[in-house]
Structure 1
Amino acid sequence: MKNWLRKHPEVRTIRVAAADLNGQPRGKRVPVRFADAVVENGTRFPMSVLNLDIWGEDIDDSPLVFESGDKDGILKPTERGFMPMPWLDSPSALLPIWMYRENGKPYEGDPRHALSSVVARYKKRGLTPVCAMELEFFLIDDSGKNLQVPLSPRSGKRRKAAEIMSIRALDSFDTFFTDLYDACEEMDIPADTAISESGLGQFEINLMHCDDALRAADDAWLFKMLLKGMARHHGFAASFMAKPYPEYSGNGLHTHFSVIDKDGDNVFSNDGPEGSDMLRHAVAGCLAAMRDCTLLFAPHANSYDRLIPESHAPNAICWAYENRTSAIRIPSGNPAARRIEHRVAGGDVNPYLMLAGILGAALIGIEDQMEPPKPITGNAYAIEDLPLLCETWEEAIDAFENSEMVARIFPKELIRNLVMTKRQEVHYMAELSPEEKTEIYLDTV
């Protein structure tokens, strides 16, 4: 890590940042001459900092604050190391960190440690998840009273219609996307295909698959930070808010995953289109935990505006082969690449918690050899009597808190902290107008 800074003498300051339960980067700005001390010894800040609400406020009555004296955790660099921050004007470097207790044990309220624990359980069985994510987002001009598409740097005009997979829409922001891809290269974020989507000024970028689930979640977390920063650098906003425009589809974050064994073989493949028994068990686990994990896939008040019928977002708990109306889709193609696509999450999620929930549920299905119901055919929105995701934020919080499956995936402290956070947000969000809610979510999530 020190060598990276030696090779980049232009860097004047560093940021050390960890993800809190909302996926917000929390940390410090440090002059570069003190960077070696951070690498060697870590840094310290209160454990409660990873358990703030969406406004960055302490959680009322949290045992992490006054009851415990607001004690420190120790933040150590992750294996990612230093990387540039191309959206800033002055040369700066980001060092991702995660939290440990004073005794050296991982802090149970850190979302990255939650994912690491799930991955370790796969490793004990000789298995490795392979993950990829598709992130949808809106480019938005938020300078006026109403949100709208930014002016195209090429034409000076606003495209006021959705344009699915339009080359013209992509080319309208060619300079921005070129700079964005260059920045992804600098940060070693594996950004692949970009397309325009069905929302107003909406796009999607796919991140390449990775056989390190922690790195895949890092990539998504860092990409969200980078995209929002680069958009502001270009004079507009980029947002992963689940539903900024009521009349258009919202932002999803679709996760593709398979599992390989010690020999590198895909255990979801049986050389046929239907996939293996292991794939069915994993699907069954995902379905069984889906309602109780709604809070991970829809963590904010605005998230539930996206999960409505006929909106390109699933609201029913079901699976299918090559069917994008289902919550879980098994894509067609080469049997050696057989995988599961989990389509529930919005773009506003914490990638670490979301991926821990998905992979943890799939592993429970594998461990318990669970069997799923029959896959559906046709339009999932038109099929009656399918079980549903939680329909309200409050219902999702209660389901998450009381779930036996959630308790098999996450430590008690993280469950408690997240539930307290969300109940506080429910209370204060009720006092805000729709415009005020949009204002807070547009930049944060």
Structure 2
Amino acid sequence: MMKNWLRKHPEVRTIRVAAADLNGQPRGKRVPTRFADKVVEDGTRFPLSVLNLDIWGEDIDDSPLVFDSGDADGVLKPTERGFMPMPWLSSPSALLPIWMFREDGRPYDGDPRQALRAVVNRYKARGLTPVVAMEMEFFLIDDSGRNLQIPISPRSGKRRKAAETLSIRALDAFDSFFTDLYDACEEMDIPADTAISEAGLGQFEINLMHCDDAMRAADDAWLFKILVKGMARKHGFAASFMAKPYEDYSGSGLHTHFSVLDADGENIFDDGGPRGTDDLRHAVGGCLRAMSDSALVFAPHANSYDRMVPGAHAPTGICWGYENRTAAVRIPSGSHKARRIEHRVAGGDVNPYIMLTAILGAALTGIEDGVEPPEPITGNAYALDLPQIPGTWAEAIDAFDTSEMMKRIFAPELIRNFVLTKRQELHYMAELTQQEQVDIYLDTV
């Protein structure tokens, strides 16, 4: 099937093979199309350490993957996604997502996509299937000058410096960009649904439709981030999923909605009413119990913690509630058949694979252990006396590193590699000015 795609697209002269590293950065190679069959059949190779680079693309200084092991290769094979076009490039090209295995064929535990596969397999072993949807928030930014600002509208020729929540005018100002973006989503088979303007300066949100394949849902989110950033540059400005580019405006989140189906296709969270089942409560309990220890997953960068402040539309207290957007975990209203959990902690700057692993892993652990959550909150969570999500990067790194619960969700190798990466970034980010930090995060996350 993969070879047939290229034969149906003879205009494609080069392909990119790419895997997600721990920061969600695509790492891979550019390959002439005439050698594509070999990549499809045999895979490609690069060092295991490449999926464990820091945000600058540098080796981790004390990583055992580099000198201690001779910087050994992994084998990277195509995912089930296959080839897809890269509409943001001027020359016809194709992207082939890949993931990493060891020489003997075992999955490489340091690969974020393999981490999600392991959690999905835990669900499968219990006859369960997660159904996932994501809300992707991002900023359109003119970064050509010293200070970031909203781009000039190609339609009006004006630069409107205002937040315009749910403004049709703001969407129409960048209509050509959004039209091309939706066309590209269709070409890449990314299920982009509703677009809205958000509360930040030049901030927008596009929902990705619910999917009963968690691997595909994470793929969609990862590919969508690559596409949005590439398409924005094609239109002459930048797009960024960084958590908080502007001090005076809300940051970008990546909210995840999920339910769970049993072997008969029935939603195990649905009790026929608004409250939800015991399984829903236990899944919420697991998410809350893991929240402090997994904060590093949801806020993985220095800039992430600028978003995690009270009153800025990002949760800071560990709590849940029905139809309450100030809570970290929200149970939306609506049809009982679609009863689900919304996890609202993650910033737009996360690695979707690691984020979804943490959320689904915590929920399943809660179901397995029968974890009872505290009472759901009512009113403003920011005004309540609640246990708090770690407020600094260093606290979050330490919590993730020493957590017993994270060991039930992630492989030891991924925990070690992620912690080493974040400690190195913490050290070197401290040497940079705020502007230098923004510069590196703008294009990477």
Which range, TM-score by smaller chain?
Answer: over 0.9
Give the distance between the partners of 1:99 and 1:342, measured in 2 at CA: 28
The separation in 1 between residues aligned to 2:73 and 2:166, in whole angstroms, is: 48
Counterpart code for 1:337: A
Which residue does the alignment assign to 1:106? Answer: 107
SS at match of 2:371: coil
Count of residues in Structure 1 that have an aligned counterpart in Structure 2 = 444
Counterpart residue number, 1:227: 228
Counterpart residue type for residue 340 of structure 1: I
Secondary structure class of the residue paired with 2:242: coil
Aligned to 1:238: 239
Q: How does 1:417-432 map to 2 (within 5 A)?
A: 417-432=417-432
Aligned residue runs from structure 1 range 348-359, under 5 A: 348-359=349-360
Query: Residue in 1 aligned with 2:73?
Result: 72
Give CA-to-partner distance per residue, 1:348-373, whole Å, 9 cap, x none. 00000000000000000000011000
Task: Give the CA deviation at 1:61.
Answer: 1.4
Which whole-Å deviations, capped at 9, do the CAs of 1:84-133 have from their partners, x for residues lacking one? 00000000000000000001000000000000000000000000000000
Q: 1:209 and 1:159 mapped to 2: Cα distance? A: 33
- Give the share of equivalent positions with the same residue, in percent: 80
Whole-angstrom CA distance in 2 between matches of 1:330 and 1:108 = 33
Paired with 1:202 and 1:159, the residues of 2 have a C-alpha distance of 12
Match of 1:162 in 2: 163
Counterpart position of 1:400: 400
Whole-Å Cα distance in 2 between the matches of residues 292 and 192 of structure 1?
A: 32
Corresponding position of 2:97: 96
- 2:216 aligns with 215
Aligned to 2:320: 319
Q: Secondary structure at the match of 1:176?
A: helix
Displacement of 1:288 after TM fit? 0.1
Matches within 5 A, 1:258-277: 258-277=259-278
- Deviations 1:147-191, CA, capped at 9 Å, x for gaps: 000000111001100000000000000000000000000000000
Aligned counterparts of 1:106 and 1:310: Cα–Cα separation in 2:
42
1:341, CA displacement in angstroms? 0.2
- Distance in 2 (alpha carbons) for counterparts of 1:316 and 1:323: 13
In the alignment, what sits opposite 1:293? 294
- Kindly provide the amino acid, as one letter, of the partner of residue 57 in structure 1: E
Instruction: State the one-letter code of the partner of 1:293.
Output: S
Give how far 1:407 is off: 0.3
> Aligned partners of 1:341 and 1:305: how far apart in 2?
22
Q: CA RMSD in A?
A: 0.3
Question: Is structure 2 residue 124 aligned with structure 1 residue 123?
Answer: yes
1:38 counterpart SS class: helix
**3-state SS of 1:229 partner:** helix
Question: How many angstroms apart in 2 are the aligned matches of 1:427 and 1:305?
Answer: 18
State the TM-score, normalizing by the size of structure 1: 1.00
SS in 2 for 1:179: helix
* Equivalence for 2:443: 443
Partner of 1:422, secondary structure, is helix
2:304 corresponds to 1:303:
yes
Q: Distance in 2 between matches of 1:154 and 1:73?
A: 48
List, as ranges, runs of 4+ consecutive aligned residues in structure 1 with deviation greater than 6 Å. none
TM-score under structure 2 length normalisation: 1.00
Deviation by residue 1:237-292 (Cα, 9 ceiling, x = unmatched): 00000000000000000000000011111000000000001000000000000000
Give the whole-Å Cα distance in 1 for the aligned partners of 2:269 and 2:409: 21
Q: Secondary structure at the match of 1:108?
A: coil
1:238 partner SS: strand
Q: CA shift at 1:376, angstroms?
A: 0.2
SS at match of 2:318: coil
**What secondary structure does 2:226 align onto?**
helix
CA distance in 2, matches of 1:309, 1:370: 27
Q: Give distance in 1, aligned partners of 2:373 and 2:221.
A: 29
Deviations 1:409-437 (A, max 9, x none): 00000000000000000010010000000
Give me the whole-angstrom Cα distance separating, in 2, the residues matched to 1:170 and 1:199.
13
Aligned counterpart, 1:56:
57
Q: How far apart are residue 382 of structure 1 and its match?
A: 0.5
SS in 1 for 2:140: strand
**Residue 252 (structure 2) aligns with:** 251
Code of the residue aligned with 2:122 in structure 1: it is R
> Tell me, which stretches of 5 or more residues in structure 2 are unaligned?
none
Match of 1:414 in 2: 414
**Offset, 1:9:** 0.4
Counterpart CA distance in 2 for 1:155 and 1:101 is: 53
**Cα distance in 2 for residues equivalent to 1:154 and 1:351:** 33
Query: Which secondary structure state, in structure 1, belongs to the residue aligned with residue 407 of structure 2?
Result: helix
Measure the CA separation in 1 of the matches of 2:78 and 2:269.
34
Q: CA deviation at 1:375?
A: 0.1
Instruction: Kindly indicate whether residue 20 of structure 2 is the aligned counterpart of residue 19 of structure 1.
Output: yes
CA distance in 2, matches of 1:322, 1:431: 42
Per the TM alignment, residue 82 of structure 1 is displaced from its structure 2 partner at its CA by 0.2
Task: Find out whether 1:282 has 2:286 as its counterpart.
Answer: no
Report the Cα distance in structure 2 between the residues aligned to 1:5 and 1:234, rounded to whole angstroms.
27
Three-state SS of the structure 2 residue aligned to 1:389 is coil
In structure 2, distance between residues paired with 1:307 and 1:423 = 20
